[in-house]
Amino acid sequence: MPNRTYANEWLEKARRHLETAELLFREDHYTDIIAISDHYQTERYPGPNYSLPVRTEIGGHLETCQRIFKQISNFINKV
């Protein structure tokens, strides 16, 4: 993999974001930040009529992120 260094740097940043989201979710603290960060990463910043998702929906997003992170991590480390 020619860009392994860059891939690993990105993976480290992603790991830190994921661990922070896991911590905040587990402690039921600042779940609005998790939701907005998730939205911001995938689309533009939410508009004034944006309503935060319910906690179970945030948990679902977090589980998806964990699964995808693991798949990408495995891919980068196998190549």
The per-residue pLDDT for range 13-65, each reduced to its tens digit, is: 888 888 888 888 888 877 666 665 555 555 555 566 667 677 788 888 888 88
pLDDT at residue 71, rounded to an integer: 92
Domain span at residue 67 reads: 4-78
Q: How many domains does the chain have?
A: 1
Q: Give DSSP secondary structure letters for 34-57.
A: HHHHHHHHHSSPP-TT--PPPHHH
What is the rounded CA–CA span in Å between residue 66 and residue 37? 15
Look at residue 4 and tell me whether its pLDDT is greater than 70.
Answer: yes
pTM score of the predicted model:
0.61
Look at residue 74 and tell me whether its pLDDT is greater than 80.
Answer: yes
